[in-house]
Amino acid sequence: MTIAIIAHNGKKAEMVQFLNENQEILHSKEIKLVATGTTGAKTEAAGFQVEKLLSGPMGGDAQIASRVAEGKIDMVLFFRDPLDKHPHEPDIFMLMRLCDVHNIPLATNPATATLLIKAI
Catalytic residues: 61
Check if the beta carbon of residue 95 is closer than 8 Å to that of residue 61. yes
The long-range contacts involving 38-41, CB below 8 angstroms and separated by at least 24 positions, are 38/9, 38/12, 39/5, 39/6, 39/7, 39/12, 39/15, 40/5
Q: In a 10 Å sphere around its CB, with 0-12 CB exposed, 13-18 middle and 19+ buried, how is residue 27 labelled?
A: exposed
- Please list, in sequence order, all residues whose beta carbon lies within 8 angstroms of the beta carbon of residue 62, skipping any fewer than 6 positions away: 91, 94, 95
- Please list, in sequence order, all residues whose beta carbon lies within 8 angstroms of the beta carbon of residue 24, skipping any fewer than 6 positions away: none
